[in-house]
Chains A and B, each alone.
Chain A
């Protein structure tokens, strides 16, 4: 008898404690890359996100390092869902890690807000009502690069990307919009750092331009070696290889290169100006594309919390969907598959004093959505 009373008591307590949590703190689990290669991206996303939620007392953030390894990311997600009992997950940089974590997390009734990775699988058939991408669908920036190549009058482009899913998405995205011929198409080894072979092929081709998607260290190596080779053919790429965190390492080789991005430091709107100056004050460096994505993710979360409690999933989801926040990108709304509809700009690498940075030269694609909306039944 005593045992049964004890049991009932503990059940009551259990309910009471969850009722107590109702309407109070929201717990965010951030899994991102904070050590080893590629940690610059994760650190920027984290810092941007924390800057956004800094003033909000109702948000508790648990941050863990995935070391860019899918197995570790999965373990961390399990830990956050089961023992930390987070309400919202975010933070993952790499598409292969997102594919390992996101489907399981959203199926367990958690929200996932992606500050970076936007694999096509999660935008199309694998879309989910609890998954929101605040950055872009993977193909977006490459599509804009294709459009930019058209409007510049490039007719014969040499394209290259690493041989992995996001690399294939990149070339697919570029080709979806580019109307000219391809002077050559190369898939490089993922993680390759020496491009002598590819550069020789570019030199031997009759290309009038080069498009490349080589994120992180790969792009640094390529740009330096390309500049050294003395080839004068103009290059175009997505912002990832010309971002604030990387530009210093590429050096003057990047000057004048046109790249496509949904965000730029010089975007003229109030939210962005505040973000850029707050970020500099807080961390003592210029924000990057990734930092802006982390910041927007935080702002979106705060805006949804103001409208609904996370325990009322329907209402909270609607609040997220309405995206009622001041984005650093200005205009921002979600398409029906929960990916951004936004302007994508063409930027140019310039020098401000001694610092390499980007400035917007034109709008590449206006109100751009993604190619997978129709495949998502939601």
Chain B
């Protein structure tokens, strides 16, 4: 193994972390701040990817398709919030799980009905195609660097939104005491509609960005849901900073684990066994990490202490 490979894998880990952050940022807002368990987050991710692919097929422009991804997801999110989700804020978590699970089925079939069951095409623009030399001798995909860049922008945007704006103050206040803030004259239902819309838009954007180098197909949103919940739980529910740190941590642990464990095992057993045992352990690593963190810090890295 060369140093170049190790550095490249480190970059991959970092990049995967930013990808995870993109996937979970929207859910952090919705689950963490609004306290709503939204299993349909993956559906919004899928809607983003499909609207991007449809726009791409029509206009052949990557940038327009990015625009379409988060605006469509935001619109769908707002409509769903106003018609369905709104009635769930005061219900218990089981009701929320049931309703949002029904939404997954509904959106999967709707998308299949509109676009068909076959995967759609979405590709990177010419500008971001190929790779670039980041250090001497180390080439890295331009598109993946772009994902890191967008992840950073989203992180800054959310920190600013929650920490520095008037809206952010209201959101944080609402997180603590929903009744009190509405008694103070803030229209909490409008605030939640907006917040759900932003969360949906982030999910949609992530769907388009990641769908571009993966596949745009029905059911693409379900696997990311589990990862997104893992990130939020590790980071501490409701904490953007926690989600950010947890994403990078999980990204690095998963990537380097998948790569290094089989390599280490190879020194003690034959390559074929090392590979299958190593990859099995590699895929468990994220959950082992989550268990360890929850044992040490039951509310997650940046979660508030339970009162």
Contacts and interface: CB of A to CB of B under 8 A. Distances in A.
Interface of A: 34-40, 43, 163, 168, 185-189, 191, 193-194, 196-197, 200-201, 203-204, 216-218, 220-221, 224-225, 228-230, 245-246, 248-251
B131 A220 contact: no
A39 B279 CA distance: 28
A197 B258 contact: yes
Given A185-B275, A187-B275, A193-B215, 14 more contacts: A39-B112, A163-B279, A193-B210, A193-B214, A194-B19, A196-B16, A196-B141, A200-B8, A203-B8, A216-B217, A220-B214, A220-B217, A221-B215, A246-B119
17 contacts: A35-B218, A36-B219, A37-B219, A40-B118, A189-B282, A193-B210, A200-B9, A201-B259, A217-B119, A220-B217, A221-B215, A224-B212, A225-B214, A228-B141, A229-B131, A248-B119, A251-B121
A248 B118 contact: yes
Contacts of A43: 117
Contacts of B121: 248-251
Given A186-B279, A204-B4, A228 B218 contact: no
Contacts of B283: 163, 189
**For the side of the interface on B, what is the size category?**
35 or more
B123 A251 contact: yes
Interface in B124-151: 124, 129-131, 139, 141, 143-144
- Give the one of B12, B217, B222, B276 with max A CB within 10 A: B217
B96 interface: no
Interface of B: 1-2, 4-5, 8-9, 12, 15-16, 19, 108-109, 112, 117-121, 123-124, 129-131, 139, 141, 143-144, 210, 212-220, 222-223, 255, 258-259, 262, 271-272, 275-276, 279-280, 282-283
A246 B2 CA distance: 36
- Give the one of B139, B215, B283 with max A CB within 10 A: B215
Given A196-B12, A200-B9, A228 B220 contact: no
Given A204-B2, A225-B213, A248-B118, A37 B218 contact: yes
B143 A228 contact: yes
Contacts of A225: 141, 213-214
Contact of B272 (A185, A200, A228): A185
Contact of B213 (A39, A197, A200, A224): A224
